[in-house]
A and B are shown apart, each in its own frame.
Chain A
Amino acid sequence: MALQITESCVNCWACVDVCPNEAIYQDTPHFLIDDGKCTECLGDHGVPQCAAICPIEMAIVDELGAFLNPPGSLTGIPIEKLKQFGLWKDAA
């Protein structure tokens, strides 16, 4: 089990600094998670740290492609507004 980073990532380094497994590395066009190292923070923290600090919705997904921070969950911007501004997706 491992999380993944999507193209929504803005390369802000926040997740790198909080990952307990040093599983996140710099790459282009965006950071990536080493699925051999990622434990989804089980045993270390109650919630995956990358997803808990990531400021960008839709940037972190689980193995099934589900967003850990779905559109609107972090900013509080209503879904209709996100759709209007082209900021909404239902899956990665």
Chain B
Amino acid sequence: MELPVISNSAPAAEGGGCASSGCGTAPDALGHLPDHIRAKVQDHPCYSEEAHHYFARMHVAVAPACNIQCNYCNRKYDCSNESRPGVVSEVLTPKQAINKVLAVAAEIPQMTVLGIAGPGDPLANPGRTFETFEELSARAPDIKLCVSTNGLNLPMYVDRIAQHNIDHVTITINCVDPEVGAKIYPWIFWENKRIFGVEGARILIEQQQKGLQMLTDRGILVKVNSVLIPGVNDEHLKEVSKIVKAKGAFLHNVMPLIAEAEHGTYYGIMEQPEPTPEQLQDLQDACAGDMAMMRHCRQCRADAVGLLGEDRGDEFTMDKIDVMEVDYEAAMVRRKVVHDEIIEKLDAKRGIVKPKAEELGIPADARPVLMAVAGKNGVVAEHFGHAKEFLIYEASPAGVRFMSHRKTELYCGGMDACGDGDVAEAGSTESLLDRNIRVLEGCEVVLCSKVGYEPWAKLEAAGIAPNGEHAMEPIEEAVMAVYKEIAATGKLSPSAEALKVA
């Protein structure tokens, strides 16, 4: 059943709405980047918000050892049911990893990026990490290589990183002040000793900053990841953002702390609060004045496979890969066709001139509106009850920009009913729906391909307008179309907001 609350009486003009934040005026846009950098990131899902709708990545878990302890990490990483950084199902040898990469690349031509991200620190496993990179750069030259590191060993491996054509490096930098660092890193292993507290943090920070500078001096693209830990480094991250930008990092990715007691981490056990979506967004906005911010990170596992937000790792376990026969030469030809098609599509979108807000009838002083989208591959694609996550977009007179993603728990098991009739299965079903609606707090509209009666009523009661009128439309066009419709009702004027707040 279709229960639209906001009608789609006037669809956006063709090309209306920005094709992605990559071409808009949003502060996190990549559009301002020089061409040679944009060429490097346009097919990299972890560096380009636009690309992450179309291109996939994979991580191979060849780096189990680590040389520091972080309070948000537990080194008992052997778990298949969780999705968070540092977690893997099986550690691979370099040889197994290479077979896995070739098999995945042949099967998923959109997979353009191979990263080594753990489950420990790749540069604390230099033998296994560089053996994997070396062989892959020879056998699969069409795959981009990247590496993530805590930075402690970075200065000593910058030359090898450059030598293996690894032109994307992510450094996790949570602080630039050793006093703050001591609250995040209990110890490091350095020059044959375990060094605790402020002294350990001081060395780590020094090496991170030195490594960052060495990489950018060599023209290697650096993304900085920071974990937002409320009460520990939240204010401090604004300074971190300024400093890493000054050193030439081109993207800053502030991620929320994950701290559950059942993960057995220090922060989890000590009940350190995780940031709320609002806290995360406020901080990202505060840092955005200083540099490009990344907001589409899914904090994936160290053995993730597929598009961001999905994990196809189960299709590529070692027992399955062992029996696959891969002709990589042939696969490379197919891959190139797929890549060219996607790039062509993105280029075409980029060329479209976005109509200005006033041309769409949106007043220049209209207030911004947050909308949640059940999206996939860049379009409004999912049933409300099937969405594993919602993409949060902000519409404003400046355009549409992607803000964040929020995870849900599946409550709908039915393929067709979507909440109609299949919700009575268990008492817990209803509370899951309620919880998912709470996840959408702050949003005024939820866009999905279809929404059932029960969630519809509850969404309305929560002040969130469900909208199933834009199924399969490009997300940003759909969001702008809905924003335009709301504007037409006069609900976006500043006085209306004042009334709402009162």
Residues of A at the B interface (CB closer than 8 Å) are: 10-14, 16-18, 45-47, 49, 52-53, 55-56, 74-77, 81, 85, 87
Instruction: Assess whether A17 is in contact with B65, with CB atoms less than 8 Å apart.
Output: yes
Instruction: Assess whether B120 is in contact with A12, with CB atoms less than 8 Å apart.
Output: yes
Given contacts A10-B75, A81-B270, A75 and B69 within 8 Å (CB-CB): yes
B235-275 interface mask toward A, CB cutoff 8 Å, 1 = contact, 0 = none? 00000000000000000000000000100101001100000
Instruction: Assess whether A17 is in contact with B269, with CB atoms less than 8 Å apart.
Output: no
Q: Which 4 pairs of residues, A with B, have the shortest CB-CB distance? A: A14-B65, A55-B75, A12-B64, A53-B189
- A11 to B266, alpha carbons, bound, how many Å? 20
Looking at the complex, which one of A14, A47, A75, A81 makes contact with B66 (CB distance below 8 Å)? A14
For B124, the closest partner residue in chain A by CB is: A14
Minimum CB–CB distance for B39 against chain A, Å: 37
Chain B residues, CB < 8 A from A11: 64, 91
- A2 to B326, alpha carbons, bound, how many Å? 47
Question: A10-B76, A55-B75 given. 14 additional CB < 8 A pairs?
Answer: A11-B91, A12-B65, A12-B66, A14-B64, A47-B192, A52-B189, A53-B67, A53-B189, A55-B66, A55-B69, A74-B187, A76-B266, A81-B270, A85-B261
Which residues of B from 310 to 324 have beta carbons under 8 Å from A?
Answer: none
Chain A residues, CB < 8 A from B270: 77, 81
Instruction: Assess whether A75 is in contact with B186, with CB atoms less than 8 Å apart.
Output: yes
Question: B137 in the interface, Cβ–Cβ < 8 Å?
Answer: no
Chain A residues, CB < 8 A from B66: 12, 14, 55
Instruction: Assess whether B194 is in contact with A56, with CB atoms less than 8 Å apart.
Output: no
- A65 to B192, alpha carbons, bound, how many Å? 23
Question: B281 in the interface, Cβ–Cβ < 8 Å?
Answer: no
Minimum CB–CB distance for A37 against chain B, Å: 18
Instruction: Assess whether B192 is in contact with A74, with CB atoms less than 8 Å apart.
Output: no
Q: How many residues of B contact A (CB 8 A)?
A: 28
Instruction: Assess whether A75 is in contact with B64, with CB atoms less than 8 Å apart.
Output: no
Q: Which of A11, A46, A53, A76: most chain B Cβ within 10 A?
A: A53
B78-105 interface mask toward A, CB cutoff 8 Å, 1 = contact, 0 = none? 1000000000000100000000000000
Which residues of B from 387 to 409 have beta carbons under 8 Å from A?
Answer: none
Looking at the complex, which one of B67, B76, B266 makes contact with A56 (CB distance below 8 Å)? B76
Chain A residues, CB < 8 A from B261: 85
Chain B residues, CB < 8 A from A46: 192-193
Question: B384 in the interface, Cβ–Cβ < 8 Å?
Answer: no
B440-456 interface mask toward A, CB cutoff 8 Å, 1 = contact, 0 = none? 00000000000000000
Question: B77 in the interface, Cβ–Cβ < 8 Å?
Answer: yes
Question: B165 in the interface, Cβ–Cβ < 8 Å?
Answer: no
Chain A residues, CB < 8 A from B124: 14, 17
Instruction: Assess whether A74 is in contact with B69, with CB atoms less than 8 Å apart.
Output: yes
For A45, the closest partner residue in chain B by CB is: B192
Minimum CB–CB distance for B369 against chain A, Å: 43
Chain B residues, CB < 8 A from A45: 192
Given contacts A11-B91, A13-B64, A77 and B75 within 8 Å (CB-CB): no
Instruction: Assess whether A52 is in contact with B194, with CB atoms less than 8 Å apart.
Output: yes
Given contacts A45-B192, A52-B194, A76-B186, A12 and B269 within 8 Å (CB-CB): no
- A81 to B127, alpha carbons, bound, how many Å? 38
B124-158 interface mask toward A, CB cutoff 8 Å, 1 = contact, 0 = none? 11011000000000000000000000000000000
- A22 to B125, alpha carbons, bound, how many Å? 16
For A52, the closest partner residue in chain B by CB is: B194
Instruction: Assess whether B120 is in contact with A53, with CB atoms less than 8 Å apart.
Output: no
Chain B residues, CB < 8 A from A81: 269-270
Chain B residues, CB < 8 A from A56: 75-76
Instruction: Assess whether B187 is in contact with A49, with CB atoms less than 8 Å apart.
Output: no
- A4 to B67, alpha carbons, bound, how many Å? 21
Chain B residues, CB < 8 A from A13: 64-65, 91, 120, 125, 128
Given contacts A10-B75, A12-B65, A46-B193, A75 and B120 within 8 Å (CB-CB): no
Minimum CB–CB distance for B307 against chain A, Å: 29
Given contacts A10-B76, A56-B76, A77-B270, A87 and B264 within 8 Å (CB-CB): yes
Chain A residues, CB < 8 A from B71: 75
For A51, the closest partner residue in chain B by CB is: B194
Looking at the complex, which one of A14, A85, A87 makes contact with B120 (CB distance below 8 Å)? A14
Minimum CB–CB distance for B70 against chain A, Å: 10
Instruction: Assess whether A17 is in contact with B77, with CB atoms less than 8 Å apart.
Output: no
Chain B residues, CB < 8 A from A85: 261, 264, 269
Minimum CB–CB distance for B67 against chain A, Å: 7
- A16 to B91, alpha carbons, bound, how many Å? 15
Minimum CB–CB distance for A49 against chain B, Å: 6
- A52 to B75, alpha carbons, bound, how many Å? 15
- A47 to B195, alpha carbons, bound, how many Å? 12
Given contacts A12-B64, A12-B75, A77 and B266 within 8 Å (CB-CB): yes
Which residues of B from 170 to 224 have beta carbons under 8 Å from A?
Answer: 186-187, 189, 192-194
Chain B residues, CB < 8 A from A47: 192-194
For B192, the closest partner residue in chain A by CB is: A45
- A13 to B77, alpha carbons, bound, how many Å? 13
Minimum CB–CB distance for A52 against chain B, Å: 5
Chain B residues, CB < 8 A from A18: 189, 192
Minimum CB–CB distance for B367 against chain A, Å: 46
Minimum CB–CB distance for A53 against chain B, Å: 4
